[in-house]
Chain A
Amino acid sequence: MNWLSQNLHIVGQLLADHLFLSIPPILLSLLISVPLGRLAAGSPRLRTPLLTGTGLLYAIPSLPLFIIIPALFGFSLRSPATMITALTLYGCALLVRGAADAFSSVPQDVRLAAAATGHSRWGLFWTVELPLAGPVLLSSLRVVTVSTVSLVTVGAVIGISSLGTLFTDGFQRNIDASIVTGIVLTVVVAFALDALCVLAARWAMPWQRAVSRA
């Protein structure tokens, strides 16, 4: 506790860095995965390559990916862009499958009924399919949120500052309190962002109160 009160401003700065690195990939992967998932759910021919491809992406370990991405895209090793790209890829690896399952769970007769009542394809997507896919989509988004927050810490070993810096610093300088603070704060941030997802979903899908826990 003593350590924490003396280093409050550093911890605060690292917390801000951590949020800056974890929120964009979560939003970006949602933005990319919804259309891809819809494509995969709509056409069996695209489904297998899309899902296998993104599934294999998830198999690539995070630390190596943080090093391969700058080499591929020409970012500098310690830039936030590396981190955000890598975490967006991981997010998509989980969310594309989740979105595909979500859109597949929309009953076919509902879709047909909406088409019969004169919805355009675009209108059908926004007003029928997306709201019905919402709850299943939310459960994958929550998984992505929590694992992204936890993965950000790995960047600390290559020098990208986040709450993970408390681990590498604490280890090198032999300070338990630093590491424990880092672990606790990472878990707290993960659950806080998870709760935000649930709240946002409640606001966006007011008719679905009960399902969001599932």
Chain B
Amino acid sequence: MNLLIEAVQWLLDPANWGEPNALGMRILEHLAFSGAVVLVAAAIGIPVGTLIGHTGRGRGAIIAITSGARALPTLGLLTIFGLWLGIGLEAPFLALLVLALPPVLAGAYAGVESVDRATVGAARAIGLTERQILTGVELPLAAPVIVGGLRSAALQVISTATLAAYISDTGLGRPLFLGLKTQQYEMMLGASILVALLALIVELCFQLVQSAAARRAEPQNGRQHRAHSGARERIEA
């Protein structure tokens, strides 16, 4: 318990926030790096997942990728990429991208696939082109599930970006590993608490975005909304 109090004291100590290399900078680094990974994952995963959901081709691949990825140990990827690519940001970026892609892909796929076929058929019948169906009907209706995929990707990336400091000194993992090496446990614990808080805040923000997307996708229809949250739970599991 004493250690916990020391950790909070370390967190509140203005000296740890003042210098250029201080905590505020680490938090920004952590968020910027994680954000970049999630953006790239979204730029690849959403179009591919959407296309698979729209055409129905490649379903098996998605299921295999998402269940296989869960078994892949991130620390293993991180260290092997570290050996191959050297010290720097490339290796953690790649390892985190491998981590972030499956949930984004699964979210985009599950979201588009869960759109009622009758709705899509109706859109086709009134003369919408395939592109209009995709952007005007399927994507807005799939938005809550897509955001759900982004949410679990972001959460995993923020957690694991801490681990990235093991091979390249960035983000909030840095004080954590420094504390471990120099046996300054209050620093290690303080940094841990900070990462946990950051992850919780990002999680809550995504929850808000997700429910906003759900309200936009299904303004009155409660039953459809339940179907969406069902799909969301499936990809989160």
Contact = CB atoms under 8 A, between A and B. Distances in A.
B100 to A, nearest CB: 14
A170 B199 CA distance: 30
Interface stretch (A1-9, A149-157, A203-211): A149-157
Contacts of A163: 73
Determine which residue in B7, B71, B155, B163 has the highest number of CB atoms from chain A within 10 A of its CB, and name it: B71
Interface majority SS (helix, strand, loop, mixed), chain B: helix
Contacts of B180: 157-158
Interface stretch (A26-34, A37-45, A54-62, A120-128): A54-62
Contacts of B83: 170-171, 174, 176, 179
B29 to A, nearest CB: 16
A97 B229 CA distance: 13
B79 A170 contact: yes
Nearest to A169: B79
A139 B63 CA distance: 14
A94 B152 CA distance: 13
B192 interface: yes
A64 interface: yes
Interface majority SS (helix, strand, loop, mixed), chain A: helix
Contact of A146 (B1, B70, B80): B70
B75 A156 contact: yes
A190 B70 CA distance: 9
Contacts of A164: 73, 75-76
Contacts of A106: none
A64 B233 contact: no
The interface size bin for chain A is 35 or more
Interface string A74-89: 0001000000000000
The interface size bin for chain B is 35 or more
A143 interface: yes
Given A56-B200, A61-B195, A176 B71 contact: no
A86 to B, nearest CB: 12
Contacts of A176: 80, 83-84
B97 interface: no
30 contacts: A56-B203, A59-B203, A62-B159, A63-B163, A64-B162, A64-B192, A68-B192, A71-B1, A71-B4, A71-B185, A72-B1, A101-B233, A146-B71, A149-B71, A150-B71, A153-B73, A154-B74, A154-B75, A154-B163, A157-B75, A163-B73, A164-B76, A167-B79, A168-B79, A170-B80, A171-B166, A176-B83, A176-B84, A183-B73, A186-B76
Interface of A: 56, 59-65, 67-68, 71-72, 77, 94, 97-98, 101, 139-140, 143, 146-147, 149-150, 153-154, 156-158, 163-164, 167-168, 170-171, 174, 176, 179-180, 182-183, 186-187, 190-191
